[in-house]
Structure 1
Amino acid sequence: MDPGAGDSSTHLTWGNVGLAFSFILLDGILSTSFGLGVGSSLLTAAVRCVVQLSVVALILQKVFETNNPWAVAGMACLLNLMGTAETVINKSKKRYDYMFPSVLFAMLGSTIPVSIIGIRFAMDVQPFWKPEQYIPVVGMLCGATISGIVVSVSYVLKEVYDNRDKVEMYLAFGASRFEACKPIARDALRLALTPNINQMSVIGIIAIPGMMTGAILGGSSVEQAARLQMVIMFMISSCTALSSIVTTILALGVVVDNEHRVRSDRIDTRPHAVYRARNWLVGKVVGAVEGAASSVVGGAKRLLGRHDSEDAGSDERTRLLG
């Protein structure tokens, strides 16, 4: 493929983005028509997608221009930090104590080593920290890792919180916390890894993935794009497995303590503190607005009442004088 043709075919403007956004509007209309209740979430996610990609494009442009390994390392840590926040704050309905540091540790401990080894040896890139190579790969690994962590941790917390009797029965019969939690951990990891297995089983024949498509559009041969996609998929699977295993073990270690007791008090089912603070702030603002509006309405009613009484008194005086 001619590089110039690839560049011209991928020159997009905000008009192209707006046209593609009309597909989201169509989905929102269908959601409203069928009463699915996901229209607002879909629109919010689309707006977040536009804002986040625009911001990251500006940041990545600067990082690519500097070509500094410390800037690349900072960007990789920032991606993992934001992925952790997304996992804990937005994706998890239940959380356990010290979930944020444990998820961050699992993500850093999986995405960084896997990306370094995979890019340096499997992709044969020297140096491995080339920004245009390293940062996109880390971003893909973080995105896949989030899904695995959310699935595994959500299942663990659901089982321990909603079906704690099963675990307590094992513990009451003398099982250690490892033995009592082993079935939960096994099922959680199976659920976390199933999407990756399904994706690898249909890739290429049924679905052509985005990384391969991007490489082809960028001018690479189809054979090289296919091999690159193989490497990326194997890195994603390894990263998801490592992070899911670590977070599952850490979560079970917190909710079932070293004295073999189920600690439901360490599981928080409330909305995250960020959303509780937001709801409190919104409530205060709404209350202040309602109070100001009621004061204005009350003042207007009193003013109108005074005018009505003055008009009534004037009419009475006119009648008496007449």
Structure 2
Amino acid sequence: MEQAVLSWWHVLEASTFVFIAAAISMMLGMRIELSLIISGLRCVVQLSLMGYVLDDVLQADNVGVVMLMTLVLVVLGTYEMVFNRTKKTFKGMFPLMFVILFISNCFVGYLGSAFALMEKPFWTPVKFIPIIGMLLGNSMSSIAMATETCLDHVSTHAPLLETRLAYGATRYEATLPLAVDSIRMSLLPIITQLSVMGMINIPGMMTGQLMAGTPMMQAVIYQQVIMFMVAASSVFGVVMAVVACMMILVDKQQILRDDRILDNKPIIRSASVVKLASKIQHLSCYSCFSRRRHHDSSHGNYEVVEMK
């Protein structure tokens, strides 16, 4: 079956769904319309740039180029996770999360590619780079959730932790219940994804292989291997992130250092974006007020509506 050739016009047609969702958000006052539009623009720009770059990288038979591209993906994933995915942070979070993402994803990616998928060499660009991309896309969400949950737990339960430490508990004993809860919560999406795979959810990689003409069972086996790799990288990354956070927030002297927790302001939400959002909200409220005043006057009711 001949595959249809798509163009930028088809991308523009598909983008109307995002604008419809943004319009619904504006009408209901959910205030996520700018986030939807900005994320959609980022998706188009980032995927287009990646398409131009990866076209040359995937054809390069050079381990140095593959490792450099892997390093770039890890840096970009760390940047997105630290500055745009978490509401709380601490000093030195970026290098720490970079090391965690690099170790968890590259280690699992190497083992899966070399042994489970039997790629020779394991760094074959057309396989290794997409695998690293899929591992990063899933694990960074789990690690970001684990980190934020851990920091929230420490902030909320600071008196409880201080009491435990005051009664002689080590930092391992004092933080273990909160750490376990953070790990459980952050891994729930991965567990759910594994449980519905193939029954409700038809994964994207399997769909792409089928569209490319890969036999059904080969596509199924590849997807199963990839999903187990995703689960493994997420578990390793989440555990390392939670342990590192607890060690930073409770020092070697068994003293709680919740003063190290800082509020994180996402870089993507610049001042101009916030001003634009407030202007849109103001115009929306003014439009609603005008319609309300017109409706009241048409019914002989001239009650003044105070806007706050």
CA contact (8 A) 1:97 1:254 kept: no
Return the alpha-carbon distance in structure 1 between the equivalents of residues 139 and 251 of structure 2: 26
CA contact (8 A) 2:60 2:125 kept: no
Return the alpha-carbon distance in structure 2 between the equivalents of residues 221 and 66 of structure 1: 27
The structure having more radius of gyration, on CA atoms, is 1
List aligned pairs for 1:283-298, cutoff 5 A.
Answer: none
Q: Match of 2:68, SS?
A: helix
In the comparison of the two structures, how many residue pairs are matched?
274
Return the alpha-carbon distance in structure 2 between the equivalents of residues 72 and 213 of structure 1: 25
Q: Does 1:116 align with 2:110?
A: yes
Partner of 1:268: 262
- Runs of 4+ more than 4 Å apart: none
Partner of 2:211: 217
Partner of 2:36: 42
Over aligned residue pairs, what C-alpha RMSD do you find?
1.8
Q: Match of 1:66, SS?
A: coil
Return the alpha-carbon distance in structure 2 between the equivalents of residues 35 and 265 of structure 1: 35
Match of 1:95 among 71, 79, 89: 89
Return the alpha-carbon distance in structure 1 between the equivalents of residues 199 and 264 of structure 2: 43
Partner of 2:123: 129
Return the alpha-carbon distance in structure 2 between the equivalents of residues 50 and 102 of structure 1: 30
Name structure 2 gaps, 5 residues minimum: 276-308
Letter in 2 for 1:135: I
CA contact (8 A) 1:80 1:108 kept: yes
Shift of 1:275: 7.0
Match of 1:28 among 22, 39, 60: 22
Letter in 1 for 2:262: D
List aligned pairs for 1:25-174, cutoff 5 A.
Answer: 25-174=19-168
Shift of 1:124: 1.5
Q: Match of 1:128, SS?
A: coil
CA deviation map 1:241-290 (0-9, x unaligned)? 00111111111111111111111221111526x579x649x99xxxxxxx
Letter in 2 for 1:93: K
Return the alpha-carbon distance in structure 2 between the equivalents of residues 36 and 266 of structure 1: 32
Q: Match of 1:124, SS?
A: coil
Query: What is the TM-score with the length of structure 2 in the denominator?
Result: 0.85
Return the alpha-carbon distance in structure 2 between the equivalents of residues 168 and 149 of structure 1: 26
Return the alpha-carbon distance in structure 2 between the equivalents of residues 88 and 197 of structure 1: 23
Letter in 2 for 1:173: Y
Letter in 2 for 1:228: Y
CA contact (8 A) 1:257 1:263 kept: yes
Shift of 1:220: 0.4
Return the alpha-carbon distance in structure 2 between the equivalents of residues 234 and 150 of structure 1: 20
Return the alpha-carbon distance in structure 2 between the equivalents of residues 67 and 22 of structure 1: 40
TM-aligned CA distance change 1:48 to 1:233, over 3 Å? same
CA deviation map 1:167-224 (0-9, x unaligned)? 1111111110000000111001101111111011111011101011011011101111
Partner of 1:231: 225
Shift of 1:67: 2.3
Shift of 1:89: 0.6
CA contact (8 A) 1:120 1:126 kept: yes
Query: What is the TM-score with the length of structure 1 in the denominator?
Result: 0.82
Q: Does 1:198 align with 2:192?
A: yes
Letter in 2 for 1:66: A
| Identical-pair percentage | 35
